[in-house]
Every structure is written in C-alpha cells, then in structure tokens.
Chain A
Amino acid sequence: DIVMTQSPDSLAVSLGERATINCKSSQSVLYSSDNKNYLAWYLHKPGQPPKLLIYWASTRESGVPDRFSGSGSGTDFTLTISSLQAEDVAVYYCQQYYNTPRTFGQGTKVEIK
C-alpha cells in the first residue's frame, strides 16, 4: 500500500494569511507514461462529504476558488491556501489514485488563529 503522510496534523492561521499543508507518499505517484501525478486534495467539513479541491496534484476542480493551489511531484506535494477565509476551516486530506488500495493522508485540521 502507498502510505500518505500529511504534515502538520493541525495548524492555526490568521484570516487572510497563507496556510500550507504538506503530503508525502511512500512511493512515487507520478505515472511515467503520461507524466501525471495521481494525487488529489479534499476539504472536509463536519456533516458533509469531502469536497474535491485539486486533482492531478495541481489542477483546480471547477468552481474551487483560486486561493487554493496544489504543487509538487513524485512523492512530495503541497496544498496552499493563499489567503485563509473563515469558510476554509476544515480538515484537509490528500489522496493517491495511482494504484489500489486508494489511500488517504491522516488529515490536517485548519483553524483560525
């Protein structure tokens, strides 16, 4: 199984400030045949299903605000929220879809400082 490890487990950021979440996979999720990273990011609020933010490591899902961006390749990835808004308080997960079993990071809780 590919183990996904996120850091930090939680962070508190002031409104309007930048939030950065890291995700490391135990093996590369870069598929050589198409040069794509099979990595997605989700936002998860209590009582709701997770919401896809980013796929292919850096492609923003339709309708997702441009303050959310993804970067990285191979085994190391980052989700950045450029200017934190109150509605961004949530748990964030990375997930690999390079192979099965699909695996998720343990989650990073983002709060307002």
Chain B
Amino acid sequence: QVQLQESGPGLVKPSETLSLTCTVSGGSISSYYWSWIRQPPGKGLEWIGYVYSSGSTNYNPSLKSRVTISVDTSKNQFSLKLTSVTAADTAVYYCARDGSGYTHWGQGTLVTVSS
C-alpha cells in the first residue's frame, strides 16, 4: 500500500522560502507523476504543480515564478520550494500521486506564514 507523508516547518516568515518534502513508502516513486496541492483555510483546493520521476516538471502559472518541485528517486522523495511567501500562502499542503485522479494523498501539513 503506497503511503505519502509530508514533512517540513509549520511556520515560515514572510518573504522567506517554504520548503516541504514528501516521502513515498510502500511503492516506487518511479514512472509516476507527483503533485503538490494546497488548501488555504476556508477555501478550495489549488494545484501547485507536479514532477515526473525523470525530473520533468509542470507548474501552475499562478505560482510558476516562485515554485520549484524536485524529485530524489534514491530517497523515494519529492520536494516543494515556494519562495517569497506571504500570508496568502498559509494553507494545508498535500502531496499526492497524479494520474487518473489523485488516488494517494499525504495527510497534509499546515504551513502558516507569519512573523
């Protein structure tokens, strides 16, 4: 059973960089697309972008200038970096396996942007 787990700081200061890692267990990260999705408090779901196991990426244009998603197949992990964060980036961040729908999700991690 494939499981995903997000990890990273729960508090980030404005203008700094948000960094999260998703560890995939119970299966290989290879040959799949892996996405980051977020949900601000009281709002809906927003796709941030995905990375393929080869390292190719695709980002939401609304965040593209600030986002980097990378993969480390040796560790079965993929990561998110979001630069120059503001309060608007406060959200629950999920990692998920992309495909015909998102079949596997992490539990989600709340990241608060505040000084």
Contact = CB atoms under 8 A, between A and B. Distances in A.
Interface in B77-100: 94, 96, 98-100
Interface in A43-84: 44, 48-50, 52, 54-56, 61
B26 interface: no
B101 A40 contact: yes
Interface of B: 35, 44-47, 50, 58-62, 94, 96, 98-103, 105-108
A80 to B, nearest CB: 18
The 10 closest A-B pairs by CB, nearest first: A40-B101, A49-B105, A55-B101, A102-B47, A101-B60, A104-B45, A55-B100, A52-B101, A100-B58, A106-B44
Contacts of A38: 100
Interface in A74-113: 93, 95, 97, 100-107
A101 B61 contact: yes
Interface of A: 1, 38, 40, 42, 44, 48-50, 52, 54-56, 61, 93, 95, 97, 100-107
A93 B45 contact: yes
Contacts, number: 58
B103 to A, nearest CB: 5
Contacts of A100: 47, 50, 58, 60
15 contacts: A40-B100, A49-B107, A50-B102, A52-B101, A52-B102, A97-B98, A100-B47, A100-B50, A101-B47, A101-B60, A101-B62, A102-B47, A104-B44, A104-B45, A107-B45
* Chain B interface helix/strand/loop/mixed: loop
Given A101-B60, A102-B35, A105-B44, A49 B106 contact: yes
A50 B105 contact: yes
A93 B101 CA distance: 12
A104 B34 CA distance: 17
Contacts of A105: 44
Contacts of A44: 45
